[in-house]
Amino acid sequence: MLEPFWLWLAAIPGVGVPLAVGWTIYIVVIGLWIIWEKREPEATLGWLLALAALPVVGFLIYHLFGPRRIKRQRLKRLRARAALVARAPDDEGDPYHQQIANLAQRTTGLPPVHMLDPVLLHNGEGTYDAMLEAIAGARHHIHMASYIFDPDHSGTMFRDALLARAREGVKVRLLLDSVGCARLRMRFFTDLLAAGGEVAWFHPMRFRPLRRPTLNQRSHRKILIVDGETGFTGGVNISDTQDRRRREDAHCDLHLRFTGSAVQALQLAFVEDWVYATGTALRDAALWPRPACGGAPALVIPSGPDSHWEAFHRVSVEAIHDATERVWLVTPYFVPSEAARMALTNAALCGVDVRVMLPKRSDSALVSAAARSYYNELLVAGVRIFEYQHNMLHAKAMLVDQHHVLIGSANFDYRSFRVNFELSVLVDDAGLASDMEAAWHDYTTRAVEILVDDPPAPRLRRMGDAMARLVSPLL
């Protein structure tokens, strides 16, 4: 493909040879730049082909959206962590599985913790009620981070709840992603700011000609911490699209409420993000109340492009490898890495009950097509695949064996593995696992199982799925 284009350039009278030489130099320079990133070969080749085919447009796309490590910002994050690690919770006992706990600690820098009273919350309506109740009871501070915070009924409801506590002297800090919250304007928070609340933006969209943009590296985390004692995290954003009381087509989702030392680890992740986004250290000792002892062993797993360890990716794959009975995965976006795909198929081939629940139609047709391209390999290996038929399935969770639940903001795709800032928790708790199992069975009542001997899809759709898979490392 490249040689005909080079010959076509060279054939242009007068300017052909200089253009061809310039294009060749461009390919060599841009190729070295991409190769220096040391990404997976398929992703590297994909970007090289895209940039070769679109010399100017391709460069701009790579400049804006291409994979990268946030080196300078990562140093700031590490300094923030170094200043706070002395207050990080100590390990209160042996983790349920030393190997995976060691992996999580060495890739995140956070020690194993314990979780008290974990409660699985369903959809926006159940999650919002629990979060607003916790906010109403706040005495000292409220820390909240969200990828989406829409200025609709739900967003107004939360803003007003935060405003009411700020007027009572509670310190309110709200961290929002500037892309996910693109509909918001600062005037929406005028009263909250006047009452002493603080609002910060993660990777604000501003033009800095001497710096490579951070447009593609988003904070996808959903966090709420009240008084350093109660924590929430999961997949639920703040939007009417998540609340069935507001919209019949609201997303199906999961969130988690808990107490215990896991809240301090969640607090550490939030404070680190706050220091990174604002440059302002938070030194109030009241942010770190002594947690109650006991509870279920847990791991808090923040991950993002500020680390090359890909903590969520590694912990997910390790959890699947460790499974002996079952792995039930629910995710809205399924674009597995080779390691994740091998882990799922290996587990199924070893006799583990592996199931994957996906939406029939997600809000990204390209990602849905890429996900379908993996079906056959998984089905042949013995993985059971279900497509959820009712509304948009937005839950992100994995049930492993009888006790272990992984839940958070991360999807099972390249973006969550390598590009976005995510946060998940892995909990060893039989009660939570039972609730997750019940949620799974409820999903199956609205799902259709895809079978290996189902009639093949139309050839045109299969071709589209294959083409989507070709660009899946770039999604």
* Mean pLDDT computed over every residue of the chain: 86
Same domain? 42 vs 182:
no
Of 264-268, 330-334, 459-463, which gets the smallest average pLDDT?
459-463
Of 6-20, 175-189, 428-442, which gets the smallest average pLDDT?
6-20
Supply the CATH number for residue 144's domain. Answer: 3.30.870.10
Catalytic residue annotation: 220, 222, 227, 394, 396, 401
For residue 426, which of 117, 104, 147 has the smallest C-alpha distance? 104
Q: What is the pLDDT of residue 364?
A: 82
Q: What is the pLDDT of residue 58?
A: 64
Q: What is the pTM of this model?
A: 0.86
Mean pLDDT of 402-417: 96
- Higher pLDDT: 91 or 474? It is 474
Q: How far is it, in rounded angstroms, from Cα 264 to Cα 47?
A: 40
For residue 406, which of 383, 376, 436 has the smallest C-alpha distance? 436
Q: What is the pLDDT of residue 75?
A: 41
Mean pLDDT of 251-256: 98
Same domain? 54 vs 84:
no
- 344, 320 Cβ separation under 8 angstroms: yes
Same domain? 199 vs 341:
no
- 302, 423 Cβ separation under 8 angstroms: yes
Same domain? 117 vs 165:
yes
Q: What is the pLDDT of residue 86?
A: 44
Same domain? 409 vs 318:
yes
The first and second tokens of residue 107, run together, are 């890739």
Q: How far is it, in rounded angstroms, from Cα 288 to Cα 467?
A: 50
Same domain? 22 vs 97:
no
- Is residue 429 predicted with pLDDT exceeding 80? yes
- Is residue 463 predicted with pLDDT exceeding 80? yes
- Is residue 90 predicted with pLDDT exceeding 90? no
Same domain? 368 vs 416:
yes
Q: How far is it, in rounded angstroms, from Cα 68 to Cα 75?
A: 15
- Which domain covers residue 45, as residue numbers? 2-65
- Considering 255-269, 276-290, 449-463, the range whose residues carry the highest mean pLDDT is 255-269
pLDDT band of 87, cuts 50, 70, 90: very low
Q: What is the pLDDT of residue 82?
A: 46
